[in-house]
Chain A
């Protein structure tokens, strides 16, 4: 099993651009979580899905952030427009035991 797969691993973009982060959960896992990690705030849950349905998106910072899970094997987290304060490492985790992916390091200039 390849584990949770995230892409890209690194993303550098300019303020105002759209950013799309991708996640492929472990096959058979019904739940998927998006987290953001910064030095100041640690790990924060942004949103989680159960059976492809968003259950709790109260952690999504603002309307610039959106997440989708069109099927059981794929999810996206989109930021539009991006801002420098969005710079962080974004993790996807799958399953109730929450296996984490390697993360996407986002830098917004």
Chain B
């Protein structure tokens, strides 16, 4: 069964610090891997989309990396802000399909 697993499940960091969220997946072959940010009470918003041939993709303070050999991705957040507090979801799209496989997310809290 195709799976996407994320770690840690939750994380608390101080404002201004960096953090890295992990995603391991078994979906293969896949066409793209996405990271979404979901604020409480809102729909997920796409941060980055990487195809299987891309190693890294940045969006402001968010940088996603992809290692297709080890089937791992990470999302690095630089100089965290209070507004970064949200759930971050890793999502993989299988090759030839639109049916996304979602991870269970990492709940990030940024504190003063």
| A residues whose Cβ falls under 8 Å from a Cβ of B | 4, 31, 33, 42-45, 48, 50, 55-56, 91, 93, 96-103
> Across the interface, do B45 and A98 meet the contact criterion of CB distance under 8 Å?
no
> Across the interface, do A103 and B42 meet the contact criterion of CB distance under 8 Å?
yes
CB of B104 closer than 8 Å to a CB of A: yes
B45: min CB distance to chain A, Å: 7
Most buried by A among B43, B104, B105: B43
Task: Digitize B41-56: 1 where CB-to-A-CB distance is under 8 Å, 0 elsewhere.
Answer: 0111110010000000
Interface class of chain B by DSSP: loop
Complex-state Cα separation, A90 to B100, whole angstroms:
16
Could you give 23 example pairs across A and B, Cβ below 8 Å? Answer: A31-B98, A33-B98, A42-B89, A42-B102, A42-B104, A43-B44, A43-B89, A43-B102, A44-B102, A48-B98, A50-B98, A56-B98, A91-B43, A91-B44, A93-B43, A98-B46, A98-B100, A100-B43, A100-B44, A101-B43, A102-B42, A102-B43, A103-B43
Residue of A nearest to B42 (CB): A102
CB of B1 closer than 8 Å to a CB of A: no
Residue of A nearest to B6 (CB): A42
- Check A42/B105 contact, CB under 8 A, given A101-B43, A102-B42: yes
Complex-state Cα separation, A103 to B43, whole angstroms:
6
Complex-state Cα separation, A33 to B45, whole angstroms:
15
B20: min CB distance to chain A, Å: 21
What residues on A are CB-neighbors of B89 within 8 Å? 42-43
Complex partner residue of B45 from A56, A100, A103, CB under 8 angstroms: A100
Residue of B nearest to A101 (CB): B43
Complex-state Cα separation, A31 to B98, whole angstroms:
9
Most buried by B among A31, A44, A100: A100
A69: min CB distance to chain B, Å: 15
What residues on A are CB-neighbors of B45 within 8 Å? 100
Task: Digitize B74-112: 1 where CB-to-A-CB distance is under 8 Å, 0 elsewhere.
Answer: 000000000000000100000000111011110000000
> Across the interface, do B98 and A96 meet the contact criterion of CB distance under 8 Å?
yes
